[in-house]
Structure 1
């Protein structure tokens, strides 16, 4: 390795390109076109294929302008090409020098036959298609969980219809197993309470989108009991699912916008009604304010009536307070007189005038001479104490 000359990657790619140009200066080639991209510069970038392989190709603006027909994806064409390497990326490619139609490609022919068959059955009949509901609460979307199309779809719905519930039905969208998975996902919609369904996928070649041309997938779309919108590929991509769907959107983003329209229109309508209601209320309040001003001009000044009533209340309060004081003073005097009378008539006052209270052995009051006998012990209560006495003599004649 030390003796070998070192070259750069750019030099390596240049040498390989020169070698290919010398060894294959021009070749006749027949292939099927599976993808076409026309750049703003006017150059065409194509993918050419047969049943076993594919190759990238470029057709510069001058050669493309000389074409006498318009190549289509799926067409089989005959062309003269030079073989080389696209040096900046080290990619093998052929340069198309001229091109002639050579009949439709196998995939394209199969697609046309199936389209005619399903169309004859009425599967694409506009009269069969379901209208979009005026109100959507829950939508399903059939696509790959890793697809950029799903992200674009969800972002658009989140921005335009944030209250809309979304259920993702995951499926492959490309490859041999994609049709069976798409049918299984579409069959699951019967288990969901959805109002509409979207089938979305990003752009690609005819082969990339072929699962959406599968007859079983198309029939599964037709069997749906809800409105179906397809957003498969880019605007120039058309599949049989687009024909079978109730509405075709140019892209996954456009499909989300289509489903968001009812909610967006409903919110706009609510905003309009809210604005009209605010204006109506403001107008009504203005009218009522004017009526109130006119009514106030006709009515007496309420402040004067309030002031007069306040004076009356204050006077009544003063009179009530005075009457309460007089009543309390009179009641106090009456209470004092009653107390004096009670004190004058009380037992102690009577005892103080020389009287005594006599009780027998059992505590009963003695009021008659006949109630006692000689020798009986009695209790005599005086003003300042008690006396224990014994009866010696009895006399029924009063002393005074």
Structure 2
């Protein structure tokens, strides 16, 4: 673009003069002439910028582009090879006004000259880029890009504001990323245009609105990729000042990773993509979730240990607990032994009384009278003895009955007969707490005369 017409004329004259000196005494063939002209063109027009309108554009399967560049008075054939056009993010179409950096060449086979295009841009982009650089330098001198005034993001933002088009993929990417990383975060969308004449004003209004309402902890200003014209709304001084004056931290995520706008330089944080912006603003939330998971795992280990200790204690107590049947048998043996001892005691007492009677009979002077008296005493003693024996038997029988009732009270079947029941799981473990059951669990209810199977349909735990 810096090559002037005078420079081209000078190079052309020098090339022609050199060729005349070399070839003035030689008759050239057609191929030699074409090759000579091609060399002159390459030397003279190594890289030049030209502008014109696209016509007859074709893209071949090889990836090469062929088209004509024309103005009102002339046209020229152009080719842009695949290895060059793959560097562009767009494809021209018929009617586009372009500026081409190219090399002037000649196709030796037919003698037609053509332009070998190195790169291209839409007409006027050079002016836009100059405006971009001028505004960037101006704002940088004013201190809008200074790292010292950048606002830090809150560590755990609860509400995120998003300024973008409501119909763009950028909004979907931001929302899905935020909710995936933190389901409790609130998202407020400030819908705006992101390109076009009124886009810059809408973006400024959205930033101002968010600051006035004070309902978000951080702002994401974003849109997808595009050409420099598509992104121009984010290269305006009005948007730059709106971001700079925001009291809410602003993350700029405009275009692709290789796109840099004025908004990126002014924002507190620049993200390469909208998805990356969402990841940056939700980093603190991930820390919370990780901490919660650590505590949950720790609590789970503690509870598991306590449950295992309680189970061991329960097993120990179960082993020590004597069954009701064994206790009844033990009491029966005790009663039988006690009854036997009591009978022996009574027999020995009767025998002792008899011995006393016999001894007294021997010593009495009037045996008949004494015998009669003693017989009478014996009769009385027998009666008293019978009453005493019967009383003691009744007493021990009552004790035995009481003990038997107590033992029967300990019998689970006796408890069941009073209207109680035993609830166990399918694994036959007794369920003593609602914490051990869940809705839809299957259980077994044992009554005094049988059992029934049931399914939990509702659970209500009371403190």
Instruction: Give TM-score scaled by structure 1 length.
Output: 0.53
Q: Is the 8 A contact 1:80 1:99 kept in 2?
A: no
Residue 201 in structure 1 maps to residue 223 in structure 2: yes
Q: In 2, distance between residues paired with 1:128 and 1:137?
A: 23
Cα shift readout 1:199-256 (whole Å, capped 9, x = no counterpart): 0101001111011011110111122222211111011111111111122111112212
Cα shift readout 1:272-296 (whole Å, capped 9, x = no counterpart): 2211211122234334555677788
Secondary structure of 1:136's match? coil
Equivalence for 1:213: 235
Task: Give 1:193 shift.
Answer: 1.4
Equivalence for 2:256: 234
Q: Is the 8 A contact 2:231 2:255 kept in 1?
A: yes
Secondary structure of 2:259's match? coil
Q: In 1, distance between residues paired with 2:51 and 2:401?
A: 112
Q: Specify whether residues 141 and 316 from structure 1 end up closer, same or farther in structure 2 by C-alpha distance, changes over 3 A only.
A: same
Instruction: Give TM-score scaled by structure 2 length.
Output: 0.46
Secondary structure of 2:135's match? helix
Equivalence for 1:162: 183
Q: In 1, distance between residues paired with 2:79 and 2:294?
A: 54
Q: Is the 8 A contact 2:49 2:99 kept in 1?
A: no
Secondary structure of 2:131's match? helix
Secondary structure of 2:282's match? helix
1:253 equivalent among 266, 275, 284: 275
Q: Greater CA deviation, 287-296 or 264-273?
A: 287-296
| Uncovered stretches (5+) of structure 1, i.e. residues with no partner | 1-25, 33-40, 49-56, 66-74, 83-93, 320-400
Equivalence for 1:126: 147
Residue 30 in structure 1 maps to residue 50 in structure 2: yes
Q: Specify whether residues 63 and 128 from structure 1 end up closer, same or farther in structure 2 by C-alpha distance, changes over 3 A only.
A: closer
Q: CA RMSD in A?
A: 4.3
Q: In 2, distance between residues paired with 1:98 and 1:155?
A: 41
| Uncovered stretches (5+) of structure 2, i.e. residues with no partner | 1-44, 53-61, 70-77, 87-97, 106-113, 332-398, 407-463
Q: In 2, distance between residues paired with 1:212 and 1:273?
A: 45
Equivalence for 2:244: 222
Q: In 2, distance between residues paired with 1:304 and 1:209?
A: 88
Cα shift readout 1:303-349 (whole Å, capped 9, x = no counterpart): 679958xx879607979xxxxxxxxxxxxxxxxxxxxxxxxxxxxxx
Residue 181 in structure 1 maps to residue 202 in structure 2: yes
Q: Which of the two has higher C-alpha Rg? A: 1
**RCO higher in 1 or 2 (8 Å CA, sep ≥ 6)?**
1
1:97 equivalent among 92, 95, 117: 117
Q: In 2, distance between residues paired with 1:44 and 1:286?
A: 76
Aligned residues: 252
